[in-house]
Chains A and B, each alone.
Chain A
Amino acid sequence: MYYASGGECEKVEKELLLDMKGIDKIFPEVHALRGVDFVVRKGEVHALMGENGAGKSTLIKVLTGIYEKDGGSITFDGGEISPRNPLEAQHAGISAIYQELNLVPFLPVYENIFVGREPVTRLRIVNREEMARRADEVLGDMGIRIDVTEPLNSYSMAIQQMVAIARAITINAKLVIMDEPTSSLDTKEVKVLFSVVRRLVEKGIAVIFISHRLDEVFEVAERVTVLKDGQLVGEFKVSELDQLKLVSHMIGREAKDMERKKFDYRYADAEELAVMRNIRQGVRLSGIDIDVKKGEILGLAGLLGSGRTELAKILFGAEIPDGGEILFMGRGMRLKAPKDAIDAGMGFCTEDRKIEGAIPHLSVRENITIAMLPQICRFGVVSGKKQDETVRRFIERLDIKTPSPNQTMRNLSGGNQQKVLLSRWLCLNPKLVILDEPTRGIDVGTKAEIENLIQELSNTGISVLMISSEIAELERNCDRVAVMREGRKLGELTGADISQNKIMELIAQGHRKFGEKECA
């Protein structure tokens, strides 16, 4: 363990806004924060980094009054505070925008901005005109012109995010916390977000920026504080770091660039396992051709909104396409439900484990075997022996850390939940596994394990269709990468041709190509 001295910066600095000293937080099972110091200066963008479980969100929740701290002190804007709920934090001038946007979908935009502190007329009637006017004004300041009287859910995620920020601004926040604000935005939207962040900074508002995406941290933040295992690693100036150094601080050891596993493309003549032809669905997919060969790892690259997940869901029968043809092992398929795809030999690890993967209150055992039940049943009766045997085998093989197979799913860490979900499909001996963001929100160690497992699958002849927003991950693992943008396939790269630069180039070219079309 070491405390970096890199954080000792020159003293001719902006004034301190927030000074958290020696923060302690103890949960029944874990000591989540141990004497963490965290300092934010006025008008700066400060990134808070760390692996999952490092204590970032706990620290934020202490700051915003959701958790009560067990030790330490918080000085904000010159006075000591200890908020007991989000409202008190807001009154002090601290406002947070969370990953799962905390807004009310049915309410109009302006109400979302003002709920809880509506302006009222002399008769104590809420003043809607005033609210709408001010909502227009504050959004306009951010460069966004929308009809604020429409319900929030009629706008895209990006706009909803801006509304959340507008809400923070209107309560005269001095410090805005953004927890993974870019996770559901595409590049264009991220740019807008960053320009809004810069406007905030110009006004002297400080921003705490939490993101898994290193690039974004380097683009927008001035300083970064790194946590690990509930302790402070150090505070650094971004200009004095590079990505490799930052990663090594986060995982606490020298980060070797993870090895690239594939160079030669060996599947040129392999038989085609799954073929999708001219798949169309609304505005999201406009005629896509994809084929997965036996045993290969096919990556789907593209930005969010490019239609990758939709394509995967169609292949798995979870969504019905408007048109197109799907062949699996040479036979035409009419997939009406995931069950059809599973029966054909597919498995699908979804992007959102919480909503579309885990069955939280059932045990690890049931979670592993739920898709397998038809195979280990006789007359609808589950064979406990076969079930236990399978569960034991996969807990061992994937090294799932659980006290027992009877542990409820939701008590497992994110990485272990992902392993359970992988086991759910692997125990079916599938021919094709679809992995949508398989390493999102998973710590670096488990990430490597999962990547190794993906290679192992491919070596045993199982095809993998892998979707990832981390281009480096695709570069490391895939035999072939198909690049998508706005519902179209732009091109493919194989073997040694796969590189971050080339993928980016393809996407950028596509931008130009389709950009022209839009103008016409």
Chain B
Amino acid sequence: MANLSDERSAQGKHLAAAARKYGALLVLIVMIAANAAITPNFLKAGTLWNIIIQSCTIILTGMGMTMVISSGGIDISVGSMMAVGSMAAAKLLPLGLAPAILLSLALCLLMGAFTGFMIAKLRLQPMIMTLTMMMALRGGAQVMNNAMLLYINDARFAMIGNYKISGALPLQTFVVLVAVLAVYFIMEKMSLGRYIQSVGDNPHSSRLAGINTVRTIIIVYMFSAFFAGVTGIIETSRLSAADGNAIGRLAEMDAIAAVAVGGTSMLGGRAHVLGTIVGALIMQLITISVNMNNIPFELAQVIKAAVIIVAVFLQREKAR
């Protein structure tokens, strides 16, 4: 009797553990399967390819967000940072393509470093500090061109977001791939990644283990700002216009949702880089499948909300 219940509880535990570990993947698979059954033309390569391409923005900002959340913080200035990167690049374009991109990214890095400094050194709460950055940077992006659309007539700049390698593979997927590999490598193979996760898990222990916690946190926010800048530039190039008002609105929320759905704890600690990709794909898959089934787009938001809750619920850790 006791044995039986032991066995059952052990089985239950394994199931629960599996759900915790692969919860997001499970949701993704279920959704793909459901779509394959319901949605016409879903399983065509083109559709799947579309999902991947369209989730590039979320994945890219999600990479920075994964690092930030893993370090025990949060960055809601990502969307505004995108706008700053976008406007700065557009404004600087007369200097030439490379200087424009490099300088605007440098600006983003600087802003990220400032955010990180305020959080790490002055101990401001990340949520509030990045909230102020969100406001200030959005204002900054608007001020740069008096809140008007800035059209860009530069064929080479337009290529960043539109060029397709051998006509099929968009350049931006390549950028995303590099970013994902880099972040994965940093988090899993480099000492920096361990420092980030360690600081997020227990800052006191980390400092006493010789980790420069202030530097680690500053670096993390610089990464987040950098990826936001890159995303902003790609978006701008795709649209051939920089819009300080609109670019990146709610981008931080998408990124945070992707990270949370991907299984990284909001309290910091273990980072799930690949999980974030799964999270981003889930978000995008919802949008696309709703589109393809002629369901009102608004419903996608409701479904997203439900999926976020379910996925995070599956992966939650009881003890935390």
- A–B contact with Cβ pairs below 8 Å: the answer is yes
Interface residues of A (CB under 8 A from B): 28, 316, 318, 337-339, 342-343, 348, 350, 355-362, 366, 370-371, 373-374, 377, 380-382, 384, 410, 424
Q: Which residue of B lies closest to A313 (CB)?
A: B208
The 12 listed contacts between A and B (C-beta, < 8 Å) are: A316-B208, A318-B207, A318-B208, A342-B210, A355-B204, A356-B208, A361-B269, A362-B198, A362-B269, A362-B270, A382-B194, A424-B209
With contact pairs A357-B208, A362-B269 given, residues A382 and B190 touching in the complex (Cβ less than 8 Å)? yes
A381 and B189 within 8 A (CB): yes
Complex formed: what's the CA distance from A88 to B154 in Å? 73
With contact pairs A377-B191, A382-B191 given, residues A362 and B201 touching in the complex (Cβ less than 8 Å)? yes
Q: Which residues of chain B have C-beta atoms less than 8 A from A370's C-beta?
A: 194, 198, 206, 209, 211
Complex formed: what's the CA distance from A417 to B74 in Å? 30
Extra A-B contacts (16), CB below 8 Å, given A358-B202, A359-B206: A338-B208, A338-B210, A356-B205, A359-B205, A361-B269, A361-B270, A362-B198, A370-B194, A371-B209, A373-B191, A374-B210, A381-B190, A382-B190, A382-B191, A382-B194, A410-B319
Chain B window 233-276, contacts with chain A (Cβ cutoff 8 Å), 1 for yes, 0 for no: 00000000000000000000000000000000100011000000
With contact pairs A355-B205, A362-B269, A382-B191 given, residues A371 and B210 touching in the complex (Cβ less than 8 Å)? yes
**Shortest distance in angstroms between A212's beta carbon and chain B's nearest beta carbon?**
23
A374 and B191 within 8 A (CB): yes
Chain A CB within 8 A of B284 CB: no
Complex formed: what's the CA distance from A380 to B182 in Å? 13
Q: Which residues of chain B have C-beta atoms less than 8 A from A359's C-beta?
A: 198, 201-202, 205-206, 209
**Shortest distance in angstroms between B154's beta carbon and chain A's nearest beta carbon?**
36
Complex formed: what's the CA distance from A382 to B192 in Å? 9
B204 and A356 within 8 A (CB): yes
Complex formed: what's the CA distance from A318 to B206 in Å? 11
Q: Which residues of chain B have C-beta atoms less than 8 A from A358's C-beta?
A: 202, 205
Q: Which residues of chain B have C-beta atoms less than 8 A from A343's C-beta?
A: 210
A339 and B205 within 8 A (CB): no
A380 and B191 within 8 A (CB): yes
Chain B window 198-232, contacts with chain A (Cβ cutoff 8 Å), 1 for yes, 0 for no: 10011011111111100000000000000000000
A28 and B9 within 8 A (CB): yes
Q: Which residues of chain A have C-beta atoms less than 8 A from B190's C-beta?
A: 377, 380-382
Complex formed: what's the CA distance from A396 to B270 in Å? 26
Pick the most buried of B204, B206, B208: most chain A CB atoms within 10 A of its CB.
Answer: B208
Pick the most buried of B190, B202, B206, B270: most chain A CB atoms within 10 A of its CB.
Answer: B202
**Shortest distance in angstroms between B229's beta carbon and chain A's nearest beta carbon?**
22
Chain A CB within 8 A of B121 CB: no
The contact of A366 among B9, B13, B194, B207, by CB within 8 Å, is B194
The contact of B208 among A350, A361, A373, A377, by CB within 8 Å, is A350
Chain A CB within 8 A of B197 CB: yes
**Shortest distance in angstroms between B11's beta carbon and chain A's nearest beta carbon?**
11
**Shortest distance in angstroms between B19's beta carbon and chain A's nearest beta carbon?**
16
Please provide the chain B residues from 148 to 203 with a CB less than 8 Å away from any CB of chain A in the complex: 189-192, 194-195, 197-198, 201-202
**Shortest distance in angstroms between A84's beta carbon and chain B's nearest beta carbon?**
19
Complex formed: what's the CA distance from A14 to B246 in Å? 78
**Shortest distance in angstroms between B14's beta carbon and chain A's nearest beta carbon?**
11
B191 and A348 within 8 A (CB): no
Q: Which residues of chain A have C-beta atoms less than 8 A from B9's C-beta?
A: 28
Complex formed: what's the CA distance from A213 to B266 in Å? 40
The contact of A362 among B189, B197, B207, B211, by CB within 8 Å, is B197
B198 and A366 within 8 A (CB): yes
The contact of B211 among A316, A339, A360, A380, by CB within 8 Å, is A339
Q: Which residue of B lies closest to A377 (CB)?
A: B191
Complex formed: what's the CA distance from A357 to B205 in Å? 5
**Shortest distance in angstroms between A327's beta carbon and chain B's nearest beta carbon?**
21
Complex formed: what's the CA distance from A340 to B43 in Å? 58
**Shortest distance in angstroms between B184's beta carbon and chain A's nearest beta carbon?**
13
A337 and B198 within 8 A (CB): no
With contact pairs A350-B208, A356-B208, A357-B208 given, residues A28 and B13 touching in the complex (Cβ less than 8 Å)? yes
Q: Which residues of chain A have C-beta atoms less than 8 A from B209's C-beta?
A: 338, 342, 359, 370-371, 424
Complex formed: what's the CA distance from A359 to B200 in Å? 9
**Shortest distance in angstroms between A159's beta carbon and chain B's nearest beta carbon?**
25
Please name the 5 residue pairs, one residue from A and one from B, whose CB atoms are nearest each other, closest first. A373-B191, A342-B210, A361-B269, A339-B210, A371-B209
B207 and A373 within 8 A (CB): no
A360 and B202 within 8 A (CB): yes
Q: Which residues of chain A have C-beta atoms less than 8 A from B198's C-beta?
A: 359, 362, 366, 370
Complex formed: what's the CA distance from A486 to B211 in Å? 31
Q: Which residues of chain B have C-beta atoms less than 8 A from A362's C-beta?
A: 194, 197-198, 201, 269-270
Complex formed: what's the CA distance from A384 to B208 in Å? 23
Complex formed: what's the CA distance from A366 to B194 in Å? 8
Complex formed: what's the CA distance from A416 to B314 in Å? 30
Q: Which residues of chain A have C-beta atoms less than 8 A from B201's C-beta?
A: 359-362
Complex formed: what's the CA distance from A350 to B202 in Å? 14
Q: Which residue of A lies closest to B191 (CB)?
A: A373
Q: Which residues of chain B have C-beta atoms less than 8 A from A316's C-beta?
A: 208
Q: Which residue of B lies closest to A316 (CB)?
A: B208
Complex formed: what's the CA distance from A121 to B202 in Å? 45
Complex formed: what's the CA distance from A377 to B191 in Å? 7
Q: Which residues of chain A have C-beta atoms less than 8 A from B195's C-beta?
A: 373
Q: Which residues of chain B have C-beta atoms less than 8 A from A337's C-beta?
A: 207, 210, 212
Complex formed: what's the CA distance from A342 to B202 in Å? 19
Q: Which residue of A lies closest to B268 (CB)?
A: A361
Complex formed: what's the CA distance from A393 to B204 in Å? 27
**Shortest distance in angstroms between B48's beta carbon and chain A's nearest beta carbon?**
33
Q: Which residue of A lies closest to B200 (CB)?
A: A361
